[in-house]
Amino acid sequence: MTIRAIYENGVFRPTGKVDLPDKAQVLFEPRLVNAGNTPTPAMAKIYEILSRTYDTGQPDLAQRHDDHQP
């Protein structure tokens, strides 16, 4: 079972209904979730690299897509 929760004031508060008996002990390993579609610093760097453009001097690179073929 997966339970989403928010950590607030030292307490994990579930964001939805939890199907567990009251006072049940559980063991979990918290994993941060990207809730606002804000990229992590690592993903932001990847997006920045992928957004770079280069002037190759070729007006239509698609025209040369088979140049590597024998």
Rounded-to-integer distance, Cα 39 and Cα 35, Å: 10
- Per run of 10 residues, the mean pLDDT along the chain (length 70 residues) is 89 92 92 74 89 83 76
Q: Which two tokens stand for residue 36?
A: 């606002």
3-state secondary structure of 20: coil
pTM above threshold 0.85: no
